[in-house]
Amino acid sequence: MSRYLVTGGAGFIGSHLVESLLAEGHAARVLDDFSTGRRENLPPAAELILGDVADPATTSAAMAGMDGCFHLAAIASVARAAEDWPGTHRVNLGGTVAVLDAARARRVPVVFASSAAVYGDCADRPLTEAAPTHPLSAYGADKLGSELHAAVATGVFGVPTVGLRFFNVFGPRQDPASPYSGVISVFAGRLRAGAPLVLHGDGEQTRDFVFVADVVAALLAAMAWRGGTAAVFNVCSGRATSIRELAATLAAIAGLPPRLTEGSPRPGDIRHSLGSPEASRAALGLGPPIPLAEGLAAVWAWLGRP
Ligand code: NAD
Ligand code: UD1
């Protein structure tokens, strides 16, 4: 049994991780400010510290007695980072530095959420971890900054770190009502409400969708990994799906006719994003990804729960 701190543990990905940690017999302590996370996402067995990850005293107190830290707390939206640059920077980079600083006294291993946003509009397909990083958003810049600080934590202070570059994560508990939510939860929510699905642009842009259970498996494997150096790995499926194809697949699962409308393209929208899962599969021993249709069925069932 180990004791883990999960920052952002009341959020979408974090709450699935907390469930898995508890199911494996570990103890989980959550540091969250409930800005987008919810208390009802947390199993009763999780210990909760309500506070700000970017406050060094709070994060240092939360780290006390822990065997490892999963750092997921962030303002996880490109759009919000554009609206409030200094505020999101304080949390998205400042929070990571506070976590790494709190970890360094006892060299507590840290696995943290980076993002495919670090690649920006790099045209490589698929994107390997060796591809150049050119973030196009403040959000992506702070994730890249988090990776650089983690390399310092490992190289200079001996803190084991692994950064995971999540691609487009989806699954139950992603809030369909939030304007900042991912396209799958938005589409599922609109299908259920009988509303048309809005394609931003022609719908031929593609994404690499990865189901949340695969992300949790990668987080757990990364905590067990001891490569010795600061590492970053993609967490992706390695499959490209166009937004149009996504809409059709989801509508078929729902048994509803897809009603599509074309809206204006999103400014700065990346045309294609596809990750290579090879390095993470080899290093972390991950199995094949959960098929998109299976994950979509889980989202649809979750939305229709009583
Ligand atoms: P989420 O918004 O559901 O989770 C983030 C959690 O962090 C929430 O519970 C929120 O309340 C908490 N939080 C925010 N600011 C905080 C602060 N100052 N102090 C303490 N807690 C704070 O989002 P998510 O999708 O679960 O994202 C988890 C992580 O994965 C984030 O770091 C995000 O940037 C990253 N990520 C997500 C995706 C995706 O597709 N969902 C893709 C790439 C990276
Ligand atoms: C997502 C993540 C971001 C992460 C990045 C990694 C979310 C909300 N954002 O950004 O945190 O860093 O991946 O690459 O998960 N779309 C529509 N109609 C809609 C909603 C979206 O056509 O109603 C389109 C968008 O224009 C975009 C695609 O669907 O082309 C995916 O959008 P979205 O789910 O918001 O995620 P990303 O912008 O890829």
Q: Using a cut of 0.85, tell me whether the model's pTM lies above it.
A: yes
Reported as a single tens digit per residue, the pLDDT across 77-118 is: 888 888 999 999 999 999 999 999 999 999 999 999 999 999
pLDDT of residue 226: 81
Kindly state if the Cβ of 171 falls inside 6 Å of ligand 1. no
Closest ligand to the CA of 96: 1
Q: Which of 4, 119, 139, 180 is catalytic?
A: 139
Domains, the chain? 3-168+209-235 (3.40.50.720), 171-208+239-274+290-303 (3.90.25.10)
Q: How do residues 212-235 score in pLDDT, each as one tens digit?
A: 999 999 999 999 998 778 799 999
One DSSP character per residue, 258-305 reads --EEEEPPPTT--SB--B--HHHHHHH---PPPPHHHHHHHHHHHHT-
Structure-model confidence comparison of residues 43 and 267, the more confident one: 43
Q: Which ligand is located closest to the Cα atom of residue 241?
A: 2
What pLDDT sits at residue 220?
98
3-state SS assignment for residue 184:
helix
**What band does 166 get if pLDDT is binned at 50, 70 and 90?**
very high
Ligand 1 within 6 A of 12 CB? yes
Q: What is the mean pLDDT of residues 145-174?
A: 97
Determine the average pLDDT of the residues in 177-202: 92
Query: Of all atoms in ligand 2, which is nearest to the CA of residue 266?
Result: 26
Which residues are CB-neighbours of 3 under 8 A, at least 6 positions away? 26, 27, 28, 29, 65, 66, 67, 68
Strands 3-7 and 27-32: parallel
Q: Of all protein residues, whose CA lies closest to atom 21 belonging to ligand 1?
A: 32
- Ligand 1 lined by 109 (C-beta under 6 Å): no
- Taking the centre of ligand 2 as the mean of its atom positions, its distance from the CA of residue 207, in whole angstroms, is 8
Whether residue 45 is predicted with pLDDT greater than 70 in this model: the reply is yes
